[in-house]
Amino acid sequence: MLYDFTCSEHGACEPYGLVMDSSGNLYGVTTSGGGGRCSCGTAYELSPAGGGNWKEYTLHHFGARSGDGGFAGGVLVVGTSGALYGETGGGGATGYGTVYRLTPKAGGHWQETILHNFANDAGGAGPGGGLAMDKSGNFYGVTGSGGDPKCGCGVVFKLAPSKKGKWTYTVLHRFTGYDGAQPGAQLIFDKKGNLYGTAITGGPNGYGVAFELTP
pLDDT value at residue 108: 86
Whether 43 has a pLDDT exceeding 90, the answer reads yes
Is 44 a domain residue?
Answer: yes
Is 188 a domain residue?
Answer: yes
CATH of the domain at 129: 2.120.10.30
**Long-range own/partner contacts, residues 24-31 (CB < 8 A, 24 or more apart):** 24/48, 26/2, 26/54, 27/59, 27/76, 27/78, 27/84, 28/75, 28/76, 29/72, 29/73, 29/74, 29/76, 29/86, 30/5, 30/72, 31/71, 31/72, 31/73, 31/89
**Which residue did the predictor score with more confidence, 153 or 14?**
153
Is 120 a domain residue?
Answer: yes
pTM of the full predicted structure? Answer: 0.94
Q: What is the pLDDT of residues 70-128, one digit of tens each?
A: 999 999 999 988 999 999 999 999 999 999 999 999 988 999 999 999 999 999 999 99
Q: What is the pLDDT of residues 17-38, one digit of tens each?
A: 999 999 999 999 999 988 767 8
Distance CA 7, CA 12 (A): 5
Q: What is the pLDDT of residues 172-186, one digit of tens each?
A: 999 999 999 999 999
pLDDT value at residue 163: 86
Closest of 24, 16, 136 to residue 79, by C-alpha: 136
Confidence of residue 10 (pLDDT cuts 50, 70, 90): low
Whether 144 has a pLDDT exceeding 90, the answer reads yes
Distance CA 135, CA 169 (A): 18
Whether 169 has a pLDDT exceeding 90, the answer reads yes
Is 2 a domain residue?
Answer: no
Confidence of residue 1 (pLDDT cuts 50, 70, 90): very high
- Give the chain's mean pLDDT: 94
Is 75 a domain residue?
Answer: yes
Whether 160 has a pLDDT exceeding 90, the answer reads yes
Is 206 a domain residue?
Answer: yes
Is 5 a domain residue?
Answer: no
Is 153 a domain residue?
Answer: yes
Domain, as residue range, for 92: 12-213
pLDDT value at residue 212: 98
Whether 164 has a pLDDT exceeding 80, the answer reads yes
Number of domains making up the chain: 1
pLDDT value at residue 76: 97
Closest of 117, 113, 131, 14 to residue 71, by C-alpha: 14
Closest of 33, 55, 54 to residue 43, by C-alpha: 33
